[in-house]
Structure formats: C-alpha cells, structure tokens
Amino acid sequence: MKSLFFMFVGVAHLLSLNSGKAIYKNDISQRTFQEIKNEIASYEDVAKAIINLAVYGKYQNRSYERLGFLVDTVGPRLSGSKNLEKAIQIMYQNLQQDGLENVHLEPVKVPHWEREEESAVMLLPRIHKMAILGLGSSIGTPPGGITAEVLVVTSFDELQRRASEARGKIIVYNQPYTSYGITVQYRHQGAVEAAKVGAVASLIRSVASFSIYSPHTGIQEYQDGVPKIPTACITVEDAEMMSRMASRGSKIVIHLEMGAKTYPDTDSFNTVAEITGSKYPEQVVLISGHLDSWDVGQGALDDGGGAVISWEALSLVKDLGVLKRKLCLVKGSLSTLSLMLYLK
Amino acid sequence: MKSLFFMFVGVAHLLSLNSGKAIYKNDISQRTFQEIKNEIASYEDVAKAIINLAVYGKYQNRSYERLGFLVDTVGPRLSGSKNLEKAIQIMYQNLQQDGLENVHLEPVKVPHWEREEESAVMLLPRIHKMAILGLGSSIGTPPGGITAEVLVVTSFDELQRRASEARGKIIVYNQPYTSYGITVQYRHQGAVEAAKVGAVASLIRSVASFSIYSPHTGIQEYQDGVPKIPTACITVEDAEMMSRMASRGSKIVIHLEMGAKTYPDTDSFNTVAEITGSKYPEQVVLISGHLDSWDVGQGALDDGGGAVISWEALSLVKDLGVLKRKLCLVKGSLSTLSLMLYLK
C-alpha cells in the first residue's frame, strides 16, 4: 500500500499495554523533507477554509454538539461494555449520514475487565472510609476482602530498602508527583514491585498534581512469574495522611475489598470510513483514535474529544471538496497492535 | 468590660445561619485612629520575633504538625458528632499543656444534623448514578425516596418564568458560577424557591469554579411558611449534562433518596484560654474560631487551619513573654450568636 501516515490521535486501547504513538512512514517516492514541507505549506488556503467552516461558518460548534450528544447518550465506554458497542453504532450511523465512503465495521477482539464493587476502610489508627478506584486489569480480593497492616513508602528505592518489612502488608505508595511520565510508573508497576517483596495488595497515590479527594484510575501491568495482587489508587489526601501517621509511629490497618474481574476478550468492531482524493487516490492519509473510555468518567476525554475531532475532520474535508489523497478514518475498540494488523 | 476586639477567624458555626464577620469596637479611651496605628507600628519588633519563632525558630512547622495531628486523629468534626467532642478534648488538653491561664470549657448547645445514606440515580434518558451531597439542614426524602421528572433552570428568574412547569418536579439549578458570594444564594435559597412553586426536591450545581466530578456540601436555609423539601448538591458535570439533555428536549427523570435527619440540639463546649498582659491587664484582645468542620472532608479547612493558627498565636506570644493586654482565646462549637452571648 502506497501510504503517507499521519496519526494525530493516540490509538492506545485503555486496557492494552501500549501507549499511543505517532507513526511516520516516508512516502515511497523518496521525497525530501523540504518537498513535503512545501506541499504542506501549499495547503494554507485549504487549512483556513477548514478553520472557517468549523469555527465561524455553517458547522460552528458542531463537533462540540456531537461530542455532547455522544457522551450524554452513551456515558462511559469501557472496552467490553455494552456502552462501547452503543457508541460504535452511533459513530457508524453518523459516518453514513455524513455521506462518507466505504463506511463499515471490522470485527476485533477487545479486553473485558469490570471493577464491580470496591471499598477500603482504615481500621487503625481510626475508622476512616477511603475513596479508592481499582486499577484496570487488577484482580479482585478474595471474598470477604483483605485486612492487613500498611507499609507506607515514597519510592521504589524505599520499598527495596524496607523489603524485609513488606511481607503480608498492604504497600501504600505516597510518591511525590513530578510529571505524568515519571510518576505513572508507580501506577503501572506498583503492584508487581509490591508483590515481589511479599505484599498482599498495593494502594497507589493517584498520579495527579491536584486532588479534591478524587482518586484516579488507569491501567496497571502484571508480570509473568510475579504473583498477582489487587491494586487500586487512593487520593493524594489519604496518601499524605498515612505518611504522616506512619511518621508518628502509628500502626495503620486497612480492610480492602475489590470485586474486579477479567472476562475473556469480547467481540467488538473497528469503524472505518473513507473519502477518495482527486489527485493521488492511491495514497492514504490515515486518521485514527479509540472510542473507549474509562468506566468512571463521562467519556468526554481519552478519547471522546479525539474521536469526534477526527470524525469531524473527515466530514469537514468532504464538505469542502478539497481532498487530494484518500482520507481514511479508523475508529473503534482499537489497540496499537490491532491498528498494525489493520494496516497490513 | 474594657475591651479591644480583633477577630481574625470567622466564627460562624457551619450549621448556623450566620457568616463570620470581623467585629471592630473602639477602645473606650477614644483614641484617634492615628494613635492606634502608632501603637500597632511600635510592635514591629514583637511581630518579627513571633514570625522568627514560628517560621525559622524553635517552633518551625509546629502549627502544621498540630493541625496534621488534630485532623488525622479526629477526622471530620460536624457539630453534634462525637468527633467534635474528641477535638474539643484534644484542644483543651493541649491548651493546658502549653501552660495557658484559665483554660476551661463552657457548656453550649449546638445543632445536630446527620446526612445518613444518600443517592441519586438518573432513570431517563439513561441510567446514570450521580454523585450528590445533601445540604446541611436538609430534610430527608420519604422512605423509598422520590422519583420525579426534572426541570432544569439556570437562574431564579427562569424558575419564576417557568413556575407553571415546576409542580411535582425536581428542580435542577445549573446556575453559572460568578463569585462565591453571589452564586451561593442558589445553595442557601434553592430549596425554598423551588418549594414555593410546588417542586418536590431541588438539586443545586455545586458552588464551585471547578469540579472533578466532585459535589460540594454546605448550609441551606428553610423559610417559615414554605414547605420543606429535600435538597442536595450535584456536580458541575451532571448539571451541565442535564442542561444539554433538556435543551435537546429529552425527558429527565431522577430517583432521589436521602436519609438526612435533624436531631435535637446537642450539648457541647466552647474552649477558653487566656494570658494576662503586663501593662494593660484589664484590656482584652479576643481571638476566636470554630472547631467544627463538614462531615465529608478532612476537617483541615473551615476551620481546622484557623483553629490551630489562633491556638498557636496564644502559645507563641506566651513563650515570647511580650504581652501587654490580656489575650483571650475562645474556641469551640460556637456560632456568632453564642460568641455574642459569651462577650456579655
């Protein structure tokens, strides 16, 4: 396939192990960077026409209204859920109504994890019901939950130094927030590192610079050969409080219950739509994104906004009739891996 | 009583109708403003000594550590709760340990309201469990809850214009946030205005410029002669969503359950401590604040910080031995009204 790829929307499935990354692949015509730059610059008028149509013209606010409708009608759309399938059907019907070409659904398997009921109560040094959010792919606790003493650490290094204290404990990570890219390691690998030193569960301070007693969720990763232990995020406030309690020498005990379950991969669909360009119909510009969202939000971000923006991009370009290459939208329950398979 | 009053901490009980206001009362010696300014300016060295002691010296971080200990040990302290009584005992013992004079407890009656279980589920146009927080002094719903259609308005004016649509409905206020002082009227009076036009409950967009799907609580006020209806805060996100749904013509139905109960006023205490000054022992500088906090937070703000700062003020001044007038701390389950009674 002769293709020029631009992917401006991350395509990481929320429950996959991959993060969205832009893919750049040289046109096989071996054009120089300067030639490509010149071609892009020649589209200035087209870019202005698109902006005018979307921001000031006939379709002013349309992408926002479409996002609002999708979010309000469906709600959160975790992969494997009925909500995601409903969103795919809405997207599919809307792409057809916009008169795009070759609109179709392609079967794909997606992960299916559900958090079910979850709760955490501090029993010592005082009774305190804690706000938690289980992490995606976490196992649940055994029925009746886990009651264990807490070991608070602020880093993986501290966990290593205090490894002899960790057996049978719930590890609480109170890592300071530096940047998302650095701090998110505690969410990704916190459970594995805790399990390696014999802990029975791990609770991670939400990866956030700010909190209103609001725990965050996100994906975490188990490792082959390391026992799987339940893991959840706690609020910045509770992580800081337990650090203070530990520094005063208080014994902290938590009762944790999580009903999280991983089901077999579920049937889903990628949604595809195209417009064929006038000058280079054999060349493809690919726009992609994922429709799924975490189960505890509105589904407006990651990747609701991106989903609608990329859908809107096709519809705007079609309405303007300015297309030279083929524009292809791939949208759905899509991991980077399945996008790769799609491209083959 | 010959007194000069400085009150830098609001003394509104969270469940009272009054907001904290500074009280200025002229010294009976009829000194000019310039004379008072000059006297204050003469304490520059004392002010620096206090700052040095608290910020760089022996008591560096002490107020923060005391606040952390109070908050972590007690948790939230709604008036009428056992937690508040525990906080009063801690404050009382600490004031004694700091060697302050005339440390004693004075009996006072305080309001006693408990939120109990509360929930709201949108049934139409789709099932959606909503985050809510009942407002202080709200009644609960009848057993089994209330199921009713929603009328969304953005202002009291709109409610008046659409009064004929309101009977039997749940009023949702999606008032835009302008400033706390202006917007908080919807929380204070939302239930009364809704009840006047025949609504069965009211849900108020949280009085906040920002939300992470986080509802706020706070006090609301019923009015004699107007039926009492249950009232709670919802998140900015849900208020905006219901506005969008209503603008699309969707019928919105909510099932609301609130177990809130108001109990008879409960016995509590104001905590008092003093230091007698060296030069004008008959004149009193009063420092005050309230110890209670809302039931759903940490109890660090409104008025945890203020409580510890004013306690710390006495202890720092005592340690420095620089006092000329009598310094009096009144702290506890204290409304503006009861402070007035105390001053008599």
- Strand-pair category, A201-205 with B118-124: unpaired
Contact A241 B298 (CB under 8 A): yes
Contact A297 B244 (CB under 8 A): no
Contact B72 A214 (CB under 8 A): no
Could you tell me if A75 lies within 8 Å of chain B, comparing CB atoms?
Answer: yes
**Tokens 């900015």 belong to residue:** B236
Q: What is the pLDDT of residue A302?
A: 86
Q: What whole-number distance in Å separates Cα of residue B145 and Cα of residue B256?
A: 5
Could you tell me if A212 lies within 8 Å of chain B, comparing CB atoms?
Answer: yes
CB < 8 Å to A297, chain B: 213
Nearest CA in chain B to A214: B212
Mean pLDDT of A162-179: 98
Topology alike, domains B3-110+265-343 and B116-259: no
**Tokens 């709201």 belong to residue:** B120
Could you tell me if A297 lies within 8 Å of chain B, comparing CB atoms?
Answer: yes
Split at pLDDT 50, 70, 90, the class of A25 is low
- Whether B53 shows a pLDDT value over 80: the answer reads yes
CB < 8 Å to A214, chain B: 212-214
Alpha carbon distances (Å) from B123 to A56, B205, B253, B293: 37, 19, 5, 34
- Whether B232 shows a pLDDT value over 90: the answer reads yes
Could you tell me if A251 lies within 8 Å of chain B, comparing CB atoms?
Answer: no
Could you tell me if A126 lies within 8 Å of chain B, comparing CB atoms?
Answer: yes
Could you tell me if A122 lies within 8 Å of chain B, comparing CB atoms?
Answer: no
**Which is nearest to B1 in space by CA: B318, B328, B334, B272?**
B328
- Whether A209 shows a pLDDT value over 60: the answer reads yes
Q: Is B184 helix (H, G, I), strand (E, B) or coil?
A: coil
Split at pLDDT 50, 70, 90, the class of A320 is confident
pLDDT, tens digit, 9 for 90 and up, residues B119-178: 999 999 999 999 999 999 999 999 999 999 999 999 999 999 999 999 999 999 999 999
More confident residue, B81 or B303: B81
Q: What is the pLDDT of residue A14?
A: 54
User: Which member of A128, A214, A245 has the closest CB to residue B212?
Assistant: A214
- Whether A82 shows a pLDDT value over 50: the answer reads yes
Give percent above pLDDT 70 in chain B: 88
Nearest Cα of chain A lies from the Cα of B341 at a distance, in angstroms, of 36
Split at pLDDT 50, 70, 90, the class of A342 is low
Contact A213 B237 (CB under 8 A): no
More confident residue, B138 or B36: B138
Could you tell me if A241 lies within 8 Å of chain B, comparing CB atoms?
Answer: yes
Q: What is the pLDDT of residue A8?
A: 30
Q: What is the pLDDT of residue B6?
A: 31
Q: What is the pLDDT of residue B55?
A: 93
Q: What is the pLDDT of residue A11?
A: 31
**Which is nearest to A10 in space by CA: A342, A290, A241?**
A290
Split at pLDDT 50, 70, 90, the class of A15 is low
Contact B237 A298 (CB under 8 A): yes
pLDDT, tens digit, 9 for 90 and up, residues A229-259: 999 999 999 999 999 999 999 999 999 999 9
- Tell me the Ramachandran region of residue A256: left when phi exceeds 0, alpha when psi lies from -120 to 50, beta otherwise: beta
Nearest Cα of chain A lies from the Cα of B92 at a distance, in angstroms, of 21
Q: Measured in Å, how far apart are chain A's first and last C-alpha atoms?
A: 9
Nearest Cα of chain A lies from the Cα of B76 at a distance, in angstroms, of 10
Nearest Cα of chain A lies from the Cα of B99 at a distance, in angstroms, of 24
Contact B73 A212 (CB under 8 A): no
Second-level CATH architecture of A3-110+266-343 = 3-Layer(aba) Sandwich (3.40)
Nearest Cα of chain A lies from the Cα of B194 at a distance, in angstroms, of 26
Contact B75 A213 (CB under 8 A): no
Mean pLDDT of A180-204: 98
Could you tell me if A103 lies within 8 Å of chain B, comparing CB atoms?
Answer: no
Could you tell me if A248 lies within 8 Å of chain B, comparing CB atoms?
Answer: yes
Contacts of B217 (CB under 8 A, 6+ apart): B115, B133, B134, B135, B136, B233, B294, B295, B296
Mean pLDDT of B78-97: 94
Q: What is the pLDDT of residue B131?
A: 97
- Whether A323 shows a pLDDT value over 60: the answer reads yes
- Whether A21 shows a pLDDT value over 50: the answer reads no
pLDDT, tens digit, 9 for 90 and up, residues A99-132: 999 999 999 999 999 999 999 999 999 999 999 9
Q: What is the pLDDT of residue A10?
A: 29
- Whether A134 shows a pLDDT value over 90: the answer reads yes
User: Which member of A125, A213, A244 has the closest CB to residue B68?
Assistant: A244
More confident residue, B277 or A86: A86
Mutate to test the interface with A, among B216, B241, B252, B301 (most CBs of A within 10 A): B241
CB < 8 Å to A77, chain B: none
User: Which member of B75, B213, B214 has the closest CB to residue A126?
Assistant: B75
Do B223 and B196 contact (CB within 8 A), yes or no? no
Lowest mean pLDDT: which of A272-281, B17-26, B38-47, B306-315? Answer: B17-26
Q: What is the pLDDT of residue B11?
A: 31
Could you tell me if B213 lies within 8 Å of chain A, comparing CB atoms?
Answer: yes
CB < 8 Å to A121, chain B: none
Q: What whole-number distance in Å separates Cα of residue B141 and Cα of residue B229?
A: 8
Nearest Cα of chain B lies from the Cα of A128 at a distance, in angstroms, of 8
pLDDT, tens digit, 9 for 90 and up, residues B218-227: 999 999 999 9
Mean pLDDT of B287-313: 90
Nearest Cα of chain A lies from the Cα of B228 at a distance, in angstroms, of 31
Nearest CA in chain A to B126: A73
Nearest Cα of chain B lies from the Cα of A238 at a distance, in angstroms, of 9
Mean pLDDT of B80-86: 95
* Maximum average pLDDT range among A330-344, B24-38, B264-278: B264-278
- Strand-pair category, A201-205 with A132-134: unpaired
Could you tell me if B241 lies within 8 Å of chain A, comparing CB atoms?
Answer: yes
Could you tell me if A239 lies within 8 Å of chain B, comparing CB atoms?
Answer: no
- Whether A7 shows a pLDDT value over 70: the answer reads no
Mean pLDDT of B165-192: 97
Tell me the domain boundaries of chain B: 3-110+265-343, 116-259
**Tell me, what DSSP letter sits at residue B326?**
E
Could you tell me if B344 lies within 8 Å of chain A, comparing CB atoms?
Answer: no
More confident residue, A168 or B326: A168
Please name the amino acid found at residue B198.
Answer: G
Could you tell me if B305 lies within 8 Å of chain A, comparing CB atoms?
Answer: no
CB < 8 Å to A90, chain B: none
Q: What is the pLDDT of residue A337?
A: 43
**Tell me, what DSSP letter sits at residue A163?**
G
- Whether B4 shows a pLDDT value over 50: the answer reads no
Mean pLDDT of A287-296: 90
Q: What is the pLDDT of residue A328?
A: 81
Q: Would you list the DSSP string of A185-211? A: HHHHHHHHHHHHTT-SEEEEE-S-S--
Second-level CATH architecture of B3-110+265-343 = 3-Layer(aba) Sandwich (3.40)
CB < 8 Å to B86, chain A: none
Nearest Cα of chain B lies from the Cα of A216 at a distance, in angstroms, of 10
Nearest Cα of chain A lies from the Cα of B156 at a distance, in angstroms, of 25
**Which is nearest to B234 in space by CA: B103, B130, B107, B91?**
B130
Split at pLDDT 50, 70, 90, the class of B22 is very low
Q: What is the dihedral of CA A190, A194, A195, A196, to 10 degrees?
A: 110
CB < 8 Å to A72, chain B: 125, 241, 244-245
Could you tell me if A237 lies within 8 Å of chain B, comparing CB atoms?
Answer: yes
Contact B244 A214 (CB under 8 A): no
Q: What is the pLDDT of residue A284?
A: 87
Nearest Cα of chain B lies from the Cα of A148 at a distance, in angstroms, of 20
Lowest mean pLDDT: which of A5-14, B80-89, B159-168? Answer: A5-14
Split at pLDDT 50, 70, 90, the class of A279 is confident
* Domain B116-259 part of CATH 3.30.70.890: no
Q: What is the pLDDT of residue B30?
A: 74
pLDDT, tens digit, 9 for 90 and up, residues A39-80: 889 989 989 999 999 999 999 999 999 999 999 999 999 999
Q: To the nearest whole number, what is the mean pLDDT of chain B?
A: 88
Contact A245 B72 (CB under 8 A): yes
Q: What are phi and psi of B266, to 5 degrees?
A: -110, 150
Split at pLDDT 50, 70, 90, the class of A332 is low
CB < 8 Å to A71, chain B: 241
